[in-house]
Structure 1
Amino acid sequence: MKKILVLSFYYPPSSKASMHWPLKMAELLPNFGWEPVILTVDEDVVSAIENRGNLDTNTILRTGFWDVFKIYKKFIGKKSEESLSVSETISNTNASFTQRLSLWIRMNLFIPDARIGWYFPAVKKASNFIKKNKIDLILTNGPPHSTHLIGKKLSKKFKIPLAAMFIDPWVDISYYKGHKRNKLTVLLDNYLERKVVEHSSKMFFVTKGLVKYYSKKYPAAANKSNLIYWGYNEKDFEGLKRERSENYKVIVHAGNLYDHQNPEIFWQQLKEKISSGEKLRMRFIGTQGPAVKQSIIKFGLENHTEYLGYLPYKEVLQEIINADYLMMCVAEERHIPGKLFEYLRSGNPIIAFGDHSSEVEVILRESNSGNLYSYTETGIDYFKDLLNIKPNCEHVKKYSREELIKQIAVELDSILNN
């Protein structure tokens, strides 16, 4: 059996969404002749922790790393035991001077990202393993895009082919919006990105928008880019049964919601609906930017809103199944929220917001699962538009990760066969 070293900063017990692909690879790639070895970290202070069961079926290499967020917590006056959310670390809303300074340092001095402290421990740990064990291929999962630099270093050092998976853009990832990065930082970041693209034998992207973007930006990427949608795990839905309240209808947003994804027009209509007598409740899972929470207060929705925070993944899926409506906010045209595919699998109607998000619009239309609106559209009854929504469950099955892993395995085989 061929051996593949999978580099992923996020892996259980971390509950970050980025860990789902490497976890599913570890489970299913052996069915296609690949034995995964996972390289990851011990623990980080931003990720919530979740028990994902027995992971001992695969070789897992764990390392320490220099965690900049531990220093960040001390710098802004947080105690070590206090939680630190992802939305909080990139928001300027009501930020103190120390928070704004910390954010500038993160955006300009940590290149390509704040996880660069994993570079040397990861290279050392993997090098010691590779010297004693044959590895046929290296696959990197980013962000954090520091992971790709680690993979490139190991690939060149041991002359092992590299495949890079991009879940989000690198140099202009969406959470850089509204933040200033100096020209030297951006120049160096582009250089590092280009070197990874040029060195990779294959590249996997989770949206067509990303494939198009990288193929245009780097001609070297055009012939080695592959689209693999984020997808969903069918097994994770086993045993879940829909349970709904008879007293009110629930709108669920699952996942992080940043300040630049704040659909104020929707909050306004939601308030109008409730004021007219409709019984509706908003339920958030994950973290929300300060501006989002301020809007909820601004429109008088705080008594109709629940903040559930982090939930174990199975409970997140249960909330998605139970929802009367599902809400999703797209960051930009190259972005598809990972939760879209779990939303599709649930069969519940979706209200999505995004500007120039044609790819999301097509997916919703082809599966007849919901509608996409601009953040600035007014005068629309979002709920009335959903009356004719009847999701095509058979169409949605093509986004099952079991099917997508087959496509990845074929591409990995082609690297060694060339």
Structure 2
Amino acid sequence: MLYVAWGFPPCRGGGVYRALATANRFAALGWKVTVLTADRETFHRFTGADLTLEERVDPSIEVVRVPFDWPILEADLRRWSKRRALNPKVWSKWRTKQDHVPFPETGYGPWRSVIEKAADRIHKAHKVDLTVATANPNVAFTPAYLLHKKYGVPYVMDYRDAWLLDVFTGDRLHEPKSRAARWEKKLVDSAREIWFVNDPIRDWHEKLYPAHAHKMHTVSNGFDADLVPDTTDRGPAGDRPLTFGYVGTVSPKVPLTEFVEGWQLARSQSGELDGAKAKIYGYLGYYAQPRADMLATINKATDDGVSYEGPVGKAEIARAYDEFDVQLLMLGKGRYVTSGKVFEYLATGLPIVSVHDPENAASDVLRGHPLWFPVTDVTPEAIAAALIEAAHAARTADEGIRAKAREFGASYRRDLQLDPRIESLAASVQGVAA
């Protein structure tokens, strides 16, 4: 199996965990896996790197790294051309147009020729029986399409997000006759299977491509059993000060300001939050440098126990969770938004406060959890009410309720999500034993 993913360890982006788990699971079930991805420098220079994740890659997997240029994010002025230095705005517009020539995707289009050539070399060296490509970026699908058209290799499109759909607003991002829409249609037409992370996104695509609905499957993210924090019962917190915690990337869509205001309100309204702390682990924004506005929002509430703890490696994440009495699930608004973080939170059995719009797809996952405290709307008042409820539960929930919470979460183990699809592919792909 050839697995194509722009973000693979040591990349620290949210989608890397799905990529790592998918490649590892195919290998564990007997496939010879080759991963085609970007070179390490890409992640060290632009997105931040998590070196602990590389240690989690199955040793049987061959990782082929190819160059990736990201000139629009180049901050080293010594690498700028004279033309760019003289007029950065004009250069940026020109660069964006150039990116779209080989493939309609800003920043990633030029990578198409690099990964297509690499995939062709890989197939000639060791015949590929199946390609699985994960997006975004959507250019990752192009090697799969090339091997299919040139050699008849079947492929799977694995969407961590969506291409034509804005998962936050529900709007369509590209017109039906756009290059992006035409590209997606021909990719969907030829794909063996198409995977989505939740039912709402899959349903949207089934309506768009009704003739191919039978190929579409929901493959939820789930949690990785070897990486989750301790799930043993910790018992009620009693009278000690509580620690609330968030782990993950704080994107600009996350209601960070509303949370901080709600936290301050809850502390002023309930004695159960006396001395309580709210610790935020992860990246503030998408890149290695924390966003100044987000950091300022957190720092304004330092006296109220809110703190930014910085990023934490996936392999050391249990240390962060061991501090928590309550987990904070902060997400941007969107009917199609789930987040992989929700599954990791479920594994702990700890109380969860959902600081996100009630219509988010994450609510579908959490509904029925005995220690789930959703907000009624994303306002400081509603957030404060949910925080106070969760604080009371952290102090009083008995062993029976906590056991039910852990049992609820156990069904979302990632291998349980992946195995049915991998087994089906093994049975259908020529030359691969089921």
Classify the TM-score, shorter chain: 0.7 to 0.9
Q: For residues 193 and 19 of structure 2, what CA distance do their matches in structure 1 show?
A: 16
Alignment match of 1:118 (pick from 102, 108, 111): 111
Counterpart for residue 24 of structure 2: 27
Paired residues in the alignment total: 392
Q: Contact between 2:112 and 2:139, CA under 8 Å: does it hold in 1?
A: yes
Tell me if the contact between 2:228 and 2:344 (Cα under 8 Å) persists in the aligned partners: no
> Contact 2:141 / 2:157 at 8 angstroms: preserved in 1?
yes
Determine the C-alpha separation between the residues in 2 that align with 1:365 and 1:354: 14
Moved more, 207-216 or 268-277: 268-277
Q: Which moved more, 1:211-220 or 1:314-323?
A: 314-323
Whether 2:205 is the aligned partner of 1:192: answer no
Q: CA deviation at 1:7?
A: 0.6
Which consecutive residues of structure 2, in runs of 5 or more, have no partner in the other structure?
81-86, 286-290
- More divergent stretch after superposition (98-107 vs 273-282): 98-107
Q: How does 1:386-401 map to 2 (within 5 A)?
A: 386=390, 387=392, 390=401, 391-401=404-414
Name the SS for the 1:34 alignment partner. coil
Give the letter aligned to residue 305 of structure 1: V
Q: Deviations 1:267-320 (Å, cap 9, x if unpaired)? A: 2221123345622222222222455445445xx413433222221112333313
Question: Secondary structure of the equivalent of 1:348?
Answer: coil
Quote how far apart the aligned CAs of 1:65 are. Answer: 1.8
Q: Which runs of 5+ in 1 are unaligned?
A: 80-96
Please tell me whether residue 286 in structure 1 is matched to residue 282 in structure 2.
yes
Higher mean alpha-carbon deviation, 239-248 vs 319-328, is at 239-248
| Contact 1:258–1:292 under 8 Å retained in 2 | no
How far the C-alpha of 1:191 sits from its partner, in A, is 2.2
Q: Offset at 1:339?
A: 0.7
Going from structure 1 to structure 2, the CA distance change for 1:168 and 1:184 (only over 3 Å counts) comes to: closer
Distance 1:68 1:213 in 2: 34
Structure 2: distance between partners of 1:184 and 1:109: 19
Counterpart in the other structure of 1:150: 143
Q: Are 1:46 and 1:69, in contact at CA under 8 Å, matched by a contact in 2?
A: no
Write the distance in 2 (CA, Å) between the matches of 1:414 and 1:270. Answer: 52
Letter of the 2:328 partner, please give it: M
- Equivalent in 9, 13, 22 of residue 10 of structure 2: 13
The separation in 2 between residues aligned to 1:78 and 1:369, in whole angstroms, is 52
- Letter matched to residue 195 of structure 1: K
* Aligned 8 A contact 2:259 2:355 in 1: no
Equivalent residues of 2:12, 2:49 under 8 A apart: yes
Partners of 1:220 and 1:121 lie apart in 2 by 32
Q: Is the contact made by 2:33 and 2:60 (CA closer than 8 Å) also made in structure 1?
A: no
Q: 2:210 aligns with which of 219, 226, 249?
A: 219
Bigger mean CA offset, 406-415 vs 202-211: 406-415
What is the distance in 1 between the residues matched to 2:97 and 2:313? 30
Aligned residues: CA RMSD: 3.7
In the superposition, relative to structure 1, how do residues 176 and 385 fare at CA in structure 2: closer, same or farther (>3 Å)?
A: closer
Corresponding residue for 2:129?
Answer: 136
Distance 1:143 1:369 in 2: 33
Asked if the contact 2:105/2:138 (under 8 Å) is kept, the reply is yes
Identify which range, 329-338 or 24-33, moves more after superposition.
Answer: 24-33
Separation in structure 2 between the aligned mates of residue 66 and residue 14 of structure 1, nearest angstrom: 15
- Amino acid corresponding to residue 315 of structure 1 in structure 2: E
Equivalent pair of 2:34/2:62 in contact (CA under 8 Å) = yes
- 1:37 pairs with 2:28: no
Alignment of 1:275-354 (within 5 A): 275=268, 278-289=274-285, 290=291, 291-296=293-298, 300-303=300-303, 304-331=305-332, 332-354=334-356
Residue aligning to 1:47: 48
Q: Which residue of 2 aligns with 1:83?
A: none
Write the letter of the residue equivalent to 2:347. Answer: R
Contact 2:188 2:212 survives alignment (8 Å):
yes
AA aligned opposite 1:395? F
Task: Tell me, in whole angstroms, the C-alpha distance in 2 between the residues paired with 1:281 and 1:135.
Answer: 52
Q: Is 2:163 the partner of 1:170?
A: yes
The equivalent of 2:61 in structure 1 is: 58
Q: Percent same amino acid at aligned positions?
A: 18
State whether residues 263 and 353 of structure 1, in contact with CA within 8 Å, keep that contact through their aligned partners in structure 2: no
Pairing 1:88-103 to 2, within 5 Å after superposition: none
SS in 2 for 1:60: strand
* Displacement after TM superposition at 1:177 (Å): 9.9
- Out of 204-213 and 260-269, give the one that drifted further: 260-269
Deviations 1:371-405 (A, max 9, x none): 33255346431123334574522232221122223
Say if 1:138 and 1:163, in contact at 8 Å, map to a contact too: yes
Task: Check the 8 A contact 1:108/1:185 in 2, yes or no.
Answer: no
Asked whether the 8 Å contact 1:321–1:348 carries over to 2, the reply is: no
Larger mean CA deviation between 219-228 and 134-143 belongs to 219-228
Deviation at 1:154, TM superposition (A): 2.7
Q: Is the 8 A contact 2:72 2:95 kept in 1?
A: no
